[in-house]
Structure 1
Amino acid sequence: MDADGIEIEEIDIVIVGAGICGLATSLALHRKGIQSVVLERSETLRTSGIAIGILTNGWRALDQLGIGSKLRQTALPLQVARDIWLDTHKQQASPLSTGEARCVKRSDLIQMLAEDLPIGTIRFGLLITLI
């Protein structure tokens, strides 16, 4: 406690935001035996958004985090990438014939990252005002 009676907790690594990057960073540190805390402004995990296409290197990273196999169970294989130019409305399709390309629901990815973190790692309802 400090002089004003406020409890002070010393934390070496603080990650601001429980989005994909914040959770993945915390999980990577956890896998290396390094403790971190994730501070999130909202009261719950924000799982809005539809889907994310993940290619070969992304799957390698998810495998290193230990969630790749579990996430593949719900992922859909991608066979074609389509580029659309907003200014000209031109479209171009390209086959995805090399490597691993799958589409995952954002909510599945967020949930799996969070589930593999120790209880208490993510702290909700916190507004960061100064760093």
Structure 2
Amino acid sequence: MATTTTTSPFVFLKCHTSPPCHTETLFTRTSYKAIKPQSQTDDVREEQVVVVGAGIADLATALSLHRLGVLSLVLEQAESLRTGGTSLTLFKNGWMVLDAIGAANDLRTQFLEIQGMVVKSVDGRELRAFNFKQEDQSQEVRAVERRVLLETLASQLPRDSVQYSSQLQRIEASPNGDTLLELVDGSKLLARIVIECDGIRSPIAKWMGFPEPKYVGLASYPDAQYFGPRVNYIYGRRLRAGFVPVSPTKVYWFICFNSPSPGS
């Protein structure tokens, strides 16, 4: 997870799914002022930090701030956590981040540690096979279900840190440099800092020119998946596919290909 900060009160987070990933600390105890109690002024609630969205980046950011003693309010437009989707493969840098925010051990007990990778051509020829530990003894690779990751992060936040059914309608800067957030239900928040990472379907994401999402899959096997604890990649002309074991019965898969023109 990489961060980009400007002189505005916004903090934009961009998440990259390809390993390795790196995390930058947004705040420190010495650089952040103490949290003030919430106040009501002209029906505008004041918050020091507001995180828009309750996805992986949002919840990880809120939990990171919580570990540093900084409270934040997470706004989620849905009625509950949106736990759809499949899984993501986390390498050692990702697990270092989860260790730092205290969420790693709960996840390790639920997902297989992947031992190695096999790369094949479309005709089945094995191009390369290797063991992660042989390449890097400190490497740790596991595929984690998105639902479980979200629930784990959310469960470790203080109660009422996530406010559901809170769709953002309008944002404007206040004269003193704070940010006024107006929700669809008419309620208003005045935030010292706004962290915007609510997904590529948000109005701000469209304004930033983010592309439409591309979907992948999670295959379930009634008895047991037979791929073993290895990542499998397949390369061909204008084609790349792969499948990653997530648990003894589930496998995450994806297919990428070059299209001559945009299609359905």
Task: Give the whole-Å Cα distance in 2 for the aligned partners of 1:93 and 1:118.
Answer: 46
Q: How much has 1:52 moved relative to structure 2?
A: 1.2
> What is the correspondence of 1:50-89 to structure 2 with a 5 Å cutoff?
50-81=86-117
Q: Does 1:111 align with 2:147?
A: no
Q: 2:47 pairs with 1, 6, 11, which one?
A: 11
Q: How much has 1:79 moved relative to structure 2?
A: 2.8
Q: How much has 1:92 moved relative to structure 2?
A: 5.8
> What is the correspondence of 1:112-127 to structure 2 with a 5 Å cutoff?
112-127=152-167
Q: Does 1:49 align with 2:85?
A: yes
Structure showing greater radius of gyration is 2
TM-score of the two chains, using structure 2 as the length reference: 0.43
Task: Give the whole-Å Cα distance in 2 for the aligned partners of 1:84 and 1:8.
Answer: 58
TM-score of the two chains, using structure 1 as the length reference: 0.84
Partner SS, residue 38 of structure 1: strand
Task: Give the whole-Å Cα distance in 2 for the aligned partners of 1:84 and 1:9.
Answer: 56
Task: Give the whole-Å Cα distance in 1 for the aligned partners of 2:97 and 2:161.
Answer: 21
Partner SS, residue 144 of structure 2: strand
**Corresponding letter in the other structure for 1:129:** Q
**Corresponding letter in the other structure for 1:126:** S
**1:88 maps to which residue?**
none
Task: Give the whole-Å Cα distance in 2 for the aligned partners of 1:114 and 1:84.
Answer: 38
Q: How much has 1:49 moved relative to structure 2?
A: 1.2
User: Which ranges of structure 1 fall in alignment gaps of 5 or more residues?
Assistant: 86-90
Percent identical: 37
Partner SS, residue 46 of structure 2: coil
Of 76-85 and 100-109, more deviation after overlay is shown by 76-85
**1:101 maps to which residue?**
141
**2:178 maps to which residue?**
none
Write 1 or 2 for the structure with the bigger share of strand: 2
Q: How much has 1:82 moved relative to structure 2?
A: 5.9
Of 91-100 and 42-51, more deviation after overlay is shown by 91-100
Measured against aligned partners, the alpha-carbon deviations of 1:83-118 in whole angstroms (never above 9, x if no partner) come to 799xxxxx9655333300011111110000000001
**1:26 maps to which residue?**
62
Task: Give the whole-Å Cα distance in 2 for the aligned partners of 1:92 and 1:23.
Answer: 39
Paired residues, what number? 123
Task: Give the whole-Å Cα distance in 2 for the aligned partners of 1:92 and 1:38.
Answer: 46
Write 1 or 2 for the structure with the bigger share of helix: 1
CA contact under 8 A between 1:27 and 1:65: conserved in structure 2?
A: yes
